[in-house]
Amino acid sequence: MMNAHDELWPLLEALCEDRISAEEVARLESLVLSSKEARQLYVRYIDLHGALYWNAAFAARTEDVLPTSGEFETSAPAPEHGLTWERFADSALSDPSASDEAANVSFLRQELPSTLTPVRSASAKSEILSPRRTNARRQRRSRILNRSLAAVASIVALLGLVYWNAGDGLRLASFWGPAHESMATPDGKPLLAEHTHSGSNSDLRNTNLAAHDHPRSPRQPVTLPLSTQGEAVQNVPPGNLASLGSNLEKTGTAPQTLVAEQQALADEAARVRALAESVSAFVKAPSKPSITLVYPAGGLSSWQVIQKIDSQLASTWKEREVTPARMATDATWHRRVYLDLVGHIPTAAESEAFLSDNAPRKRERLIDRLLDDPGFARNQATIWTNLLVGHATREEADRDSLYDYLRVSFAGGRPWNRIVAELISAKGRSHENGATNFLLAHLNENAIPAATMTSRLFLGRRAEHAEHLQEAFGESRPASFWELNSFFRQASSRPVLVLDRSSGKQVQVAHELFDLPVSGPVYYEVANGTSLAAFPRFGGQEVDDAGTTNRRQELARILAEDADRQLARAFVNRVWSQFLTLGFTSPVDDMGPHNLPSHPELLELLTTNFVREDYDVRELIRWITNSKPYQLAAVSNSDFAGSSLIERGEGHDFQHHLSRPLTLEQTFDSILVMESPVPGQQQFWAEAYQRRQSWLSQYILPVETEENTEVEIYSSLNESLSLMNGELTRGLLAAEPGTLLSEVLRNHPKDSDRAHALAMSIVSRPATDEEISMIRRAAVKKPNQLRSREEQEGATLDLWRDFAWALLNSSEFSLNH
């Protein structure tokens, strides 16, 4: 059909396989621009490519969770035509007979509550608008639905989910309301409304059920058609409508097509689930977007805040007779700001472009660009995932899901106090609501870690020994600790189970965070054995201790209101230390009267403006990275090369920068950036993330205490050995086409250019004269003795490999300086 475009085919092939050259791109472009037909082919081809990619990505996702599939194709009854979301979700929800036919009937009978039996007669083939379904019936159904929607969902899950994907649609529907009835209990029995109530759980469940019985409850899942047909109708211009409609009707009659269609819908449903995970944070307040696309004015401008930081520090320096260091060189600063903002070193091309940029305000412009880069959100998410749940996360929590939640939150410019409120008040399943995982990771030991971490991370305070000067001898946590702890005593977690049909066993796929209606105080013992009661009280606010109070929501509210600005202050302190190595207090998470800030006015300046800017993380970082101290060279004698700071704090006025070692993640990601120097070849960060986590897990040891801490052993010798001989180094120094070495050698015939290119790639600066002459000296020694061309080439390669190795192993690489 497209013989006219014989030239186009190979270009499209090359494009899809990521091996197209710049010349070919240009040619492709001119061909596509030259004719409508070529444009059509281009779009169709890319669409095919993308559809294959999308489908495969989706398929993998469901397989992860559900080992059994395939039954759908063979035994599910095919609806007559025009699938809608409604019917799809509907049939799985309220219509067990649909599953019934496909799955194990006796099992269903056993597990179904009697209240559901009336619904079972409904046919899978009925539609919501079918006259067979009366209004009365619908009302009744919707009530039953509300009550048992999730229960059925769990049955569907237990059945091995013939309609698995519909289950996702279902979860989408329940996205708007509490999802926890849909859970199975830890012992695997579905928590079915009236039947399984016992113990303390039942109170809560009854309460919720009552709420759901509200006639206006909008829990009926879907009211709009979402089928391809429906959407086609919506989008197709009238002229095309008829043909397309008939087209779909035709396909509707062919069973095979239907399977395909159902599959497509199922694909969408699963995609929904994935999306719900990543966007759940944004659903709440559409009327008041939390996204800061354009940085709002109001209060001081960014520039004014930066000026104030600089002038305050300048007067401190003058007062204390401190001379600030010189400015860091552009090359050094450029590398620093990349590491700090996006978590890895710049590519050689980026460094060169920056160094040759002579326009004014180039540092400021770069900061703006990097704050907008997806790498910024990735980097912040990495930092905070490590802080919130560590590398060696407890089994209950889904670390990756938390990472995704944070990444999206930071990318979307979510205010910090809202992030904190969400982490504290989150409910739902670990893999669906990433925010649940902070608490899921810390509910052990009577939620002592939850209180400890909340206080340290969000308030910069050690609640567990707030009065440790007096209480140091025994373990007597102060009353205020237990008052904070009592906010977490309603929070509970339980596993989410599905039945793996192939093995007949229940498989745990996630955990759910929910609340029990616990009331009253927490009792704790003091050193002399007396029991004391602690009621939920925090920040001077006392909360009703009744079981009907959702204590976590109350705590989230108090934290987010941040009456004394300590939430903001603690964050400012920590972020300052992220960029300037030291916070205003050391450590940053032990603020208080015993550990006063080194620069109180500066801390208050930043805190006030951070609050005024609505806890805008990007804006805070913009101020800090544009401020004078961040521009200065690191010229100290202090030794920060180790895993811990050798000598901290005292007397440091940020008059020079303080070097610190690269983190594990920075090291890994930086090597990744070096690995892909071919222009156009992109970093596959999502893939890299998994590789990175498995690489760095070998350097993390969990510590078995109630504080859920861990140690990192990637320091000194282990680090050196890894950089000298480790897998990353070996991969980087390989000579296959496309690697750093081979590209540098191929593109640069001259030795000095090669030296520059390697130095630029690895330590982000040009090679020095000494290095070039060193290489020349080393080069003349060898090749003369070698006769064959191969031997000479091998020797040349070795020479450059050794130079690259030396750069990679230098302290210049291993420090953020």
Partner 1 sequence: MSLFNPEGMSRRHFVRHLAATAATIPALEFISHVRANAAELKKNQKSVILMWMSGGPPTIDIWDLKPGSKNGGEFKPISTKGDLQISEHMPKTAQVMNHLSVVRAMSTREADHGRGTYFMHTGYVPNPTVVHPSFGSVVSYELGTKRKELEIPAFVSIGGGREGTGPGFLGMSNAPFVVDSNGGIRNADLGGVSAGQLSRRLDMLGSVEEGFINSQRGESGQSHKEVYQKAVNLMTSKQMEAFKVAQESPETLARYSPTPNGGMGMGGMGGGNGFGRSLLMARRLVEAGVPFVEVDFGGWDLHNDVFNTLKNRMLPQLDAGIAALTTDLKERGMLDNTVVIWMGEFGRTPRINQNTGRDHWAASWSTMIGGGGLKGGLAVGETDSDGIAVTSGKSYLPGDIWATAAHALGIPLDTVHTSKRGRPMKIANGGTPIKELIS
Partner 2 sequence: MSEAASEEPPLDLATPSSPDDGTTAAASQAEFIQLFTKSQRRLYLYILTQVPHPVEAEEVLQEANVIVWSKAAQFQAGTNFFAWACQIAHYEILKYRSRQKRTKLRFSDEFIEQVAVEAVEQADELESRRMALKQCLGKLRDKDRELIESRYAPGERGKDLADQIGRPANSVYQSLGRIRRTLLECIQRQLAVELRS
Preceding peptide of 255 cis, ω within 30°: no
Distance in Å, CB of 443 to partner 2, minimum: 16
Is residue 788 at the binding interface for partner 1, with CB under 8 A as the rule? no
Is residue 321 at the binding interface for partner 1, with CB under 8 A as the rule? no
User: Could you say which of partner 2, partner 1, none residue 771 binds, taking C-beta under 5 to 8 angstroms by partner kind?
Assistant: partner 1
Pairwise CA distance, residues 125 & 369, whole Å: 54
DSSP reduced 3-state for 331: helix
Pairwise CA distance, residues 608 & 269, whole Å: 45
Q: Which two tokens stand for residue 109?
A: 């009978």
Contact 560, 424 (CB under 8 A): no
Return the amino acid letter for 674. M
The conformational region for residue 479 under phi > 0 = left, psi -120 to 50 = alpha, else beta, is alpha
Contact 745, 805 (CB under 8 A): no
Q: Which of residues 595-624 bind partner 2 (CB under 8 A)?
A: 611, 614-615
Q: Which of residues 432-451 bind partner 1 (CB under 8 A)?
A: 445
Q: Which of residues 335-354 bind partner 2 (CB under 8 A)?
A: 349-350, 353
How many amino acids of this chain bind partner 2 (CB under 8 A)? 136
Contact 42, 32 (CB under 8 A): yes
Q: Which of residues 590-629 bind partner 1 (CB under 8 A)?
A: 595
Quick one: which segment of 193-201, 307-315, 552-560, 770-778 binds partner 2 (CB under 8 A)? 552-560
Is residue 300 at the binding interface for partner 1, with CB under 8 A as the rule? no
Is residue 479 at the binding interface for partner 1, with CB under 8 A as the rule? no
Is residue 770 at the binding interface for partner 1, with CB under 8 A as the rule? yes
Q: Which of residues 746-765 bind partner 2 (CB under 8 A)?
A: none
User: Could you say which of partner 1, partner 2, none residue 223 binds, taking C-beta under 5 to 8 angstroms by partner kind?
Assistant: partner 2
Q: Which of residues 14-43 bind partner 2 (CB under 8 A)?
A: 15-20, 22, 25, 29, 32-33, 36, 39-40, 42-43
Quick one: which segment of 106-114, 166-174, 175-183, 462-470 binds partner 1 (CB under 8 A)? 462-470
Q: Residue 103 forms beta bridges with which residues?
A: none
Q: Which is nearer to partner 1, 223 or 788 (CB)?
A: 788
Contact 646, 638 (CB under 8 A): yes
Residue 658 DSSP class = -
User: Could you say which of partner 2, partner 1, none residue 453 binds, taking C-beta under 5 to 8 angstroms by partner kind?
Assistant: none
DSSP reduced 3-state for 226: coil
DSSP string, 545-569: -STTS-HHHHHHHHHHH-TTSHHHH
User: Could you say which of partner 1, partner 2, none residue 302 binds, taking C-beta under 5 to 8 angstroms by partner kind?
Assistant: none
Q: Which of residues 267-306 bind partner 2 (CB under 8 A)?
A: 267-268, 271-272, 275-276, 278-291, 293
Q: Which of 167, 415, 495, 587 binds partner 2 (CB under 8 A)?
A: 415
Distance in Å, CB of 358 to partner 1, minimum: 23
Residue with tokens 């830890």: 186
Is residue 676 at the binding interface for partner 2, with CB under 8 A as the rule? no
User: Could you say which of partner 2, partner 1, none residue 778 binds, taking C-beta under 5 to 8 angstroms by partner kind?
Assistant: partner 1
Is residue 803 at the binding interface for partner 1, with CB under 8 A as the rule? yes
Distance in Å, CB of 579 to partner 2, minimum: 22
Q: Which of residues 148-167 bind partner 2 (CB under 8 A)?
A: none
Residue ranges of the alpha helices (H) in 193-254? 201-212, 228-235, 238-253
Side-chain half-sphere exposure of 270, counting CA atoms within 13 A: 22
Residue with tokens 């609505």: 614
User: Could you say which of partner 2, partner 1, none residue 303 binds, taking C-beta under 5 to 8 angstroms by partner kind?
Assistant: none
Distance in Å, CB of 379 to partner 1, minimum: 23
Is residue 507 within a helix (H) or strand (E), and if so which, with residue range?
strand 505-515
Distance in Å, CB of 473 to partner 1, minimum: 4
User: Could you say which of partner 2, partner 1, none residue 271 binds, taking C-beta under 5 to 8 angstroms by partner kind?
Assistant: partner 2
Q: Which is nearer to partner 1, 259 or 533 (CB)?
A: 533
Q: Which has the closest alpha carbon to 165: 57, 69, 279, 97?
A: 69
Q: Which is nearer to partner 1, 25 or 633 (CB)?
A: 633
Distance in Å, CB of 423 to partner 1, minimum: 23
Pairwise CA distance, residues 764 & 810, whole Å: 13
How many amino acids of this chain bind partner 1 (CB under 8 A)? 77
Number of C-beta neighbours around residue 479 at 10 A: 17
Please give the C-alpha separations between residue 167 and each of 140, 151, 269, 505, in angstroms, as whole numbers. Answer: 22, 11, 8, 19
Q: Which of residues 27-66 bind partner 1 (CB under 8 A)?
A: none
Q: Which of 292, 709, 752, 796 binds partner 1 (CB under 8 A)?
A: 709
Phi, then psi, of 378 in degrees rounded to 5: -60, -45
Is residue 530 at the binding interface for partner 1, with CB under 8 A as the rule? no
Q: Which is nearer to partner 1, 239 or 529 (CB)?
A: 529
Is residue 703 at the binding interface for partner 2, with CB under 8 A as the rule? no
Q: Residue 595 forms beta bridges with which residues?
A: 592
Return the amino acid letter for 545. D
Q: Which is nearer to partner 2, 67 or 324 (CB)?
A: 67
Distance in Å, CB of 603 to partner 2, minimum: 19
The residues, any chain, with a CB within 8 Å of residue 642's CB and separated by 6 or more, are 661, 715, 716
Pairwise CA distance, residues 219 & 537, whole Å: 34
User: Could you say which of partner 2, partner 1, none residue 46 binds, taking C-beta under 5 to 8 angstroms by partner kind?
Assistant: partner 2
Is residue 390 at the binding interface for partner 1, with CB under 8 A as the rule? no
Is residue 117 within a helix (H) or strand (E), and if so which, with residue range?
helix 117-120
Is residue 716 at the binding interface for partner 1, with CB under 8 A as the rule? yes
Contact 351, 764 (CB under 8 A): yes
Q: Which of residues 367-396 bind partner 2 (CB under 8 A)?
A: 369, 372-374
Quick one: which segment of 235-243, 303-311, 497-505, 520-528 binds partner 1 (CB under 8 A)? 520-528
Please state the separation of Cα 107 from the chain's center in Å.
39
Q: Which of residues 644-673 bind partner 1 (CB under 8 A)?
A: 644-650, 659
Quick one: which segment of 255-263, 309-317, 707-715, 785-793 binds partner 1 (CB under 8 A)? 707-715
Q: Which of 426, 450, 543, 799 binds partner 2 (CB under 8 A)?
A: 426
Is residue 566 at the binding interface for partner 1, with CB under 8 A as the rule? no
Pairwise CA distance, residues 765 & 755, whole Å: 10
Distance in Å, CB of 522 to partner 1, minimum: 12
Pairwise CA distance, residues 418 & 422, whole Å: 6
Q: Residue 522 forms beta bridges with which residues?
A: 534
Q: Which of 698, 746, 747, 791 binds partner 1 (CB under 8 A)?
A: 698
Is residue 686 at the binding interface for partner 1, with CB under 8 A as the rule? no
Residue ranges of the alpha helices (H) in 215-298? 228-235, 238-253, 255-279
User: Could you say which of partner 1, partner 2, none residue 705 binds, taking C-beta under 5 to 8 angstroms by partner kind?
Assistant: partner 1
Q: Which of residues 508-537 bind partner 2 (CB under 8 A)?
A: none
Quick one: which segment of 223-231, 425-433, 486-494, 632-640 binds partner 1 (CB under 8 A)? 632-640
Q: Which of 506, 718, 742, 752 binds partner 1 (CB under 8 A)?
A: 718
Residue 360 DSSP class = S
Q: Which is nearer to partner 1, 227 or 659 (CB)?
A: 659
Pairwise CA distance, residues 681 & 256, whole Å: 39
Residue with tokens 């009253």: 520
The alpha carbon torsion through 223, 225, 231, 235 (nearest 10 deg) reads -50
Contact 408, 401 (CB under 8 A): no
Residue with tokens 């719900």: 276
